[in-house]
Amino acid sequence: MTLEEIGAWKSFGGWQKVFRHQSNETGTAMEFSVFLPPAAERGPCPLLWYLSGLTCTWENVTAKGGFQRHAAEHGLIVVCPDTSPRGLDLEGEHDTYDFGSGAGFYLDATREPWSTNYRMESYVVAELPALVEASFPADTARQGIFGHSMGGHGALTLALKNPGTYESVSAFAPIASPMRCPWGEKALGGYLGPNRQGDRQTWRAHDTTALIEDGARVPEILVDQGTGDNFLAEQLKPELLEQACTKAAIPLTLRRQEGYDHSYYFIATFMGDHVAWHAERLAR
C-alpha cells in the first residue's frame, strides 16, 4: 500500500499531515489526517484515534478540534479517518446527510449495495492501523480511541468489540444506542437489514448499550455531553449508556456540560481534558 501525502502543516512543534491511499476494504481511495507530535521525532508514541460524526471528513476536527496543542504536549500521535468511502455513486448514497456518504457508522455493511464498499469497521480496526504502524513511529501496543456523535458510537463500540486493542476510550456526545434512535435505526436497517431475532439480534453488535448488556467490557469510559445539544433527547440518550454501565459496573464518567451544544466549539472546549485522559492511561 502506498501513502500519498496531500497536506503537511507544521503545528505546535509537530506536523499535521494528510494522506490518501487505496483501501482494500472500501475499494476506494481514502484520506486520513495524522498529527505527529515533536516526541515522534525521537521514538514511538502512543496512538490516539479520533472518529468523526455525520457529514464530516478528517478535516473538520483536524482544523477545528484543537487537539494538536494537547497531543504535542502529551506526545500522542492522533489519526482522524474519514467517515465513509468516497467517490462512489451508489443508489441513494448521497441523498441524505445521515446515511451513505459521510455516514458509514463504523460497521461493515452486509446488505447490498453497501456491503462491497461500506466496510468502515474493518478499515478503522485493521487496515488503517496496519498502514499507520508501517508508516509512522506509532506504538500500536498503546492505542486509545475517541470520537464525536456517530464517531462516539464508533469509538465505544469498537473499543468494546476489540478488548485489548484500545487501552482507553472516550466520547463527545456519542450516539449511545443506535438501536433506539432514528439515526441509528436508519443506518443499521440500511447497512445490515432488519434486526433479525435469533441467538443474537443482528443490530446488537453495533450498539454500545447492547454490547455491554451482552458482556463486552472496557476498563472505564469518559463522556462529555452538552445539555444544550439539539440531538440530546431524540438521538444521543446518554441515560441509556449510564444505565448500561451502572448495571455492568463499568466506571463511567459522564459529564453533563451546561449549555453546550453539538458543535466543534463544544468539542474544542473539552478536547484538552479528553487528550489528557487518554495520555494518562496510555502512559501506563
Size of residue set near a second copy by CB under 8 A: 25
Interaction between residue 260 and a second copy (CB under 8 A): yes
> Which of residues 195 and 269 has its CB atom nearest to a second copy in the complex?
269
* Positions marked catalytic: 149, 229, 262
Interaction between residue 12 and a second copy (CB under 8 A): yes
C-alpha span between 157 and 112 (Å, rounded): 23
> Least distance (Å) from a second copy to the CB of residue 36?
13
Q: How many CA atoms lie within 13 A of 32 on its CB side?
A: 28
Interaction between residue 69 and a second copy (CB under 8 A): yes
Task: Pick the stretch among 9-17, 86-94, 108-116, 273-281 that binds a second copy (CB under 8 A).
Answer: 9-17
> Least distance (Å) from a second copy to the CB of residue 266?
7
> Which of residues 14 and 154 has its CB atom nearest to a second copy in the complex?
14
Interaction between residue 265 and a second copy (CB under 8 A): yes
> Least distance (Å) from a second copy to the CB of residue 10?
4
Interaction between residue 55 and a second copy (CB under 8 A): no
C-alpha span between 4 and 260 (Å, rounded): 38
Task: Pick the stretch among 47-55, 149-157, 184-192, 254-262 that binds a second copy (CB under 8 A).
Answer: 254-262
Interaction between residue 11 and a second copy (CB under 8 A): yes
Task: Pick the stretch among 87-95, 137-145, 174-182, 268-276 that binds a second copy (CB under 8 A).
Answer: 268-276
> Least distance (Å) from a second copy to the CB of residue 62?
9
Interaction between residue 9 and a second copy (CB under 8 A): yes
Task: Pick the stretch among 58-66, 104-112, 184-192, 231-239 that binds a second copy (CB under 8 A).
Answer: 58-66
> Which of residues 112 and 258 has its CB atom nearest to a second copy in the complex?
258
Residue matched to cell numbers 446488537: 204
Interaction between residue 13 and a second copy (CB under 8 A): yes
> Least distance (Å) from a second copy to the CB of residue 71?
12
Contacts of 70 (CB under 8 A, 6+ apart): 76, 271, 272, 275, 276, 279
- Which residues of the shown chain bind a second copy in the complex (CB under 8 A)? 9-13, 16, 63-64, 66, 68-69, 226, 228, 257-261, 263-266, 268-269, 272
